[in-house]
Amino acid sequence: MCSYLPNFGKFRRSKGGLIRLSQGHLQPLQDVANAAFLAALFSDYLEASYTPGWYCGPSFYTPKNLRDFSKSQMDYILGRNPRNLSYVVGFGERYPSQVHHRGASIPAHKKESCKGRWRWKDSNMDNPNIIQGALVAATDMDDGFQHVRTSSNYTEPTLVGNAGLVAALVALGGGGTLDKNGIFSAVPSFSPPSPPPPAPWTP
Which are the catalytic amino acids? 100
What are the DSSP calls for 88-142, one per residue? BTTSSS---SS-S-HHHHS-TT----TTTTHHHHT--SPPSS--TT-B-----TT
Evaluated on CA atoms 146, 105, 35, 64, the torsion sign reads positive
Query: What's the rounded Cα separation, in Å, for the pair 19 and 69?
Result: 10
Amino acid identity, residue 159? L
